[in-house]
Structure 1
Amino acid sequence: MIARRRDTRRRGRSAAGAGRDDRGFAPLWLLLLLVVAVGVNVRATFGATPPLVDDIGADLGLNATLQSLLTAVPVLAMGLCAPLGQLLGARFGPERAIFGLVLLLGLGGVARLGVDSVLTLMLCAVVTGAAMGATSALVPGFISRHLRRIPGTATGVYSMSMASGVALAAWIAWPTTEALGDWRASLALWGGFAILTAVGWLLVLPRISARPPRPPAPASGAVQRGLPWRSPTAWWVTAMTTVGMLGGFSGVGWIAPILEEHGATAHEAASTFAWFQLVQLLAMVTLPTLTDLTKDRRPLFLLPLLSSIAGVSMLMAVPDGPAVLAALLFGFGVGGTSALVLVLIQDTTRDQTEAGRLSAMVMMVANCAGALGPLALGALHDVTGGFTAGLAVVLGVVALGLAMVPMLRPGRVVEQFVAVAPHPEARSVSLDPDAPDPRAPSVARDPAGGAHDRRS
């Protein structure tokens, strides 16, 4: 009896230790601070670049199509390298992988100090985009593991930090350029901030790192691997994410140039662009938080999608339409949609490993497709001489997103398609319809005309 009690106490202490290890020995406020720091870093470059597009273009001789690559190239790199985050997380653990990727992001940002041609500028964009994409694929899994009691709130905080990073970077782009004397130094400033974030992450790493939890064992003979390409639910989540990405990156890349083309000063265009980012904070704080109170996400998706439609429609009327109101509505729409799809990833997965796989698929496809938004606006501007045709494409994509809302019913999870390992005693089945079934009992006839089952 005493031995049994001691064994029970030992198991209790082990379970308690596992619970502490699962929490990462870190308080809630510290985990949220880490999420905020990463969120600011993985989007700041998209705020710092657009206000400086004219200076960069004049310095390096870029037309509108090449200018669109300043946004499209990092977005494309984000998509293509999103699976890299899942692979690194599986190999080294998500916490260590995030540290290494944020450090890479910082080094790529600081390297902009040496930009002297379009080629070197694009190489820096590829490095920073790859780091941002791989990091973004790991954050939903980090939240589902370390902040699983408040996933909606934590996702809202993360989304808010991303929008804050873009808005802050846009707001200080011109002042820092004037203070530092060059657009290269202004862009590299955010690389330095990423390196500081990586140093802070490294200091906290021992408190949050733990052995990655083992995924639940699949059914007997089942093998799970790779991204969920065959899952319809995964594709619906990916499609909705693509709507938010394409609209959001189109706005990030071209709202300021659209306003400048219609007579706004660079300062006025940068201020309106900053409001476009800041209003996303309202959507990113309120909508994901509401998901903690309801299981049905469809009514919540309707609000930002309708807001995007209204904002893009009004932006097409600029300069006759109210530019600031158009930017506010558009910003609320893309911010709310982007935040809600992060919650959707957690809703439709069963554990951190599955969330990582779905995140990698979603980020890869949605970012690659999202890169087409700013690229299409730039190319159509060169062809038509205006932005109306490009904005019409964005409007059509958002309308498709509105039509997809009914498919996001509560309770959907990523379907698991598994490869079933053959049983050791399995026999090959002949394709000849007249051949006997090998699974049927073998029957032998005796001389008296009777029959018996050989297995007996």
Structure 2
Amino acid sequence: MSTPRTHLPPVWLLSIALVAVAANLRTAIASVPPLTQTLAADLGLSNAALGALTTLPVLCMGVFAPFAQRIAARLGAAASVELAIGCVVAGVAMRFAGGQVWPLYAGTFLAGVGIALAGTLLPGLVKELFPPERSGLVTGLYMLAMMSGAGASSALSVPLKGWLGSWQASLGSWSVLGLVGALAWLPVLLGHRRHRAANPTLVVSVGLPWRHATAWLVAAYLTVQSLEFYSTLAWLAPSYTARGWDPTHAGYLLSAFTAAQLVSGLLGPALSDRITDHRLLLLGASVLGLLGQAGLWLLPTAAPWAWALVLGAGQGASFALGLVLMVDYAASPAASARLAGMAFFVSYTIASFGPASLGALRDATGGFTAVWMTLTLLTIAQLALAGLLRPDLRKVT
């Protein structure tokens, strides 16, 4: 159900603002893995503790997802996104003082809260603010911006350390990108307040669809996909530095993984506007992910760049199409936000244990073979779940 676009900024300005905010939703996570050896040496952190730096924001993304609806009910969704990006800016800026352990983890926690609020509310805002025939394309732009931020932060973490003189400055410098997002979102905030006042039916219940079978299926799909994605993000670069790669080159490998997501993350949702049965896209993306994970497990030194690109293409499309599911299986913008709140709570909370658990598995086994085997098995589960996501499933209302 759409509402009149009264008082809203033009679509092009909304798109720019969405891109500026989305670009900040993975930098706090992706900027860390290329610097893990430096962090371990300076702070004396174990592999499990380093994995927790990726685990913590993902856990926040799960635990705080339900609270996003309550905050949006009080402030409005657009105002809540502005608050969220402020939390990201403050949390990332705390890393300037990361010479001790507590500012590093405290800042990561605060940034994770901001990512949780924004990530939960943006799918509903896409359904509310943009024409319905453009929801897939806009979701692709959102994904493109998010993965661009992740790719840039992983590629530049080590070079920025050299240019700025410390890993603290390298990690903290991404707060500048957050400031850009906060400023770009201001026109949306002002326009949405007037739009919300003109459409009071947008203010609805914040209950989550716990008894809805479709919501649980979407949550299960996102759970296995998120476990794979965040675990790969945390351990792809370290697995090759452990093989003797230079940290800069390992960071570039992670950037290749995220760069492939730029293409597939835009292409998958754009195609979803034209293909009715999205299982075709979901299954294709899952097969690509399976090939990449299996390559990293069975033939890690044969073609690492190829495996990273294939895996990135599969994971990028898989996640972007997961965002499309928030719109597909919702009858209204409010229902989309409710579905996102529940699905993100379940998926991110469970997925948050992936990086640290696999770090502990690596510590126990002395290598990364068991890590990539586990992720390959998870991709098989993703493939099975994708086949169940029929277009005629009952929508969340």
- The yes-or-no answer on 1:50 pairing with 2:41 is no
- The yes-or-no answer on 1:118 pairing with 2:101 is yes
Gaps of 5+ in 2: none
Match of 1:168 in 2: 152
- SS of the counterpart of 1:280? helix
- The yes-or-no answer on 1:235 pairing with 2:216 is yes
**Greater relative contact order structure (CA < 8 Å, 6+ sep):** 2
For 1:34-433, list aligned pairs within 5 A: 34-149=17-132, 150-209=134-193, 210-211=195-196, 213-215=199-201, 226-414=207-395
- SS of the counterpart of 2:249? helix
For 1:435-450, list aligned pairs within 5 A: none
Aligned-partner Cα distance in 1 for 2:209–2:284: 29
Aligned-partner Cα distance in 1 for 2:298–2:101: 33
Aligned-partner Cα distance in 1 for 2:153–2:396: 40
- SS of the counterpart of 2:159? helix
Alpha-carbon spacing, 1:266–1:183, altered in 2? closer, same or farther (3 Å): same
Gaps of 5+ in 1: 1-17, 218-222, 417-456
CA-CA distance at 1:372 after TM superposition: 2.1
Q: Which moved more, 1:369-378 or 1:229-238?
A: 369-378
CA-CA distance at 1:215 after TM superposition: 4.6
**Amino acid of the structure 1 residue aligned with 2:183:** V
Q: Which moved more, 1:243-252 or 1:151-160?
A: 243-252
**Amino acid of the structure 1 residue aligned with 2:118:** T
CA-CA distance at 1:143 after TM superposition: 0.4
CA-CA distance at 1:117 after TM superposition: 2.5
- SS of the counterpart of 2:63? helix
For 1:9-24, list aligned pairs within 5 A: 19-21=4-6, 24=7
CA-CA distance at 1:318 after TM superposition: 4.7
TM-score by length of 1: 0.82
Aligned-partner Cα distance in 2 for 1:300–1:359: 20
**Amino acid of the structure 2 residue aligned with 1:382:** D
The number of equivalent residue pairs is 392
- SS of the counterpart of 2:387? helix
- The yes-or-no answer on 1:28 pairing with 2:20 is no
Alpha-carbon spacing, 1:79–1:20, altered in 2? closer, same or farther (3 Å): closer
**Amino acid of the structure 2 residue aligned with 1:130:** V
**Amino acid of the structure 2 residue aligned with 1:108:** G
Aligned-partner Cα distance in 2 for 1:112–1:216: 38
Q: Is the 8 A contact 2:18 2:185 kept in 1?
A: no
Match of 1:436 in 2: none
RMSD: 1.8
Aligned-partner Cα distance in 2 for 1:145–1:397: 34
Aligned-partner Cα distance in 1 for 2:241–2:377: 24
Q: Which moved more, 1:306-315 or 1:186-195?
A: 186-195
CA-CA distance at 1:327 after TM superposition: 0.6
Q: Is the 8 A contact 1:377 1:391 kept in 2?
A: no
Larger radius of gyration: 1
Aligned-partner Cα distance in 2 for 1:375–1:279: 25
CA-CA distance at 1:230 after TM superposition: 0.8
Aligned-partner Cα distance in 2 for 1:184–1:86: 34
- SS of the counterpart of 1:349? coil
TM-score by length of 2: 0.94
Q: For 1:85-108, what per-residue CA distance to the aligned partner results, in whole angstroms no more than 9, with x for missing partners?
A: 221111111111111110111011
Q: For 1:154-175, what per-residue CA distance to the aligned partner results, in whole angstroms no more than 9, with x for missing partners?
A: 0000011111000011121122
Aligned-partner Cα distance in 1 for 2:99–2:173: 17
CA-CA distance at 1:115 after TM superposition: 2.2
Q: Which moved more, 1:187-196 or 1:223-232?
A: 223-232
CA-CA distance at 1:62 after TM superposition: 0.6
CA-CA distance at 1:321 after TM superposition: 2.2
Higher helix share: 2
Aligned-partner Cα distance in 1 for 2:307–2:387: 27
Aligned-partner Cα distance in 2 for 1:157–1:184: 30
Identical aligned pairs, as a percentage?
32
Aligned-partner Cα distance in 2 for 1:341–1:70: 24
CA-CA distance at 1:263 after TM superposition: 2.1
- SS of the counterpart of 1:211? helix
Alpha-carbon spacing, 1:216–1:280, altered in 2? closer, same or farther (3 Å): closer
Q: For 1:397-420, what per-residue CA distance to the aligned partner results, in whole angstroms no more than 9, with x for missing partners?
A: 11111112232111223456xxxx
Q: Is the 8 A contact 2:82 2:185 kept in 1?
A: yes
CA-CA distance at 1:119 after TM superposition: 2.6
Aligned-partner Cα distance in 2 for 1:278–1:193: 19
Aligned-partner Cα distance in 1 for 2:236–2:299: 11
Match of 1:427 in 2: none
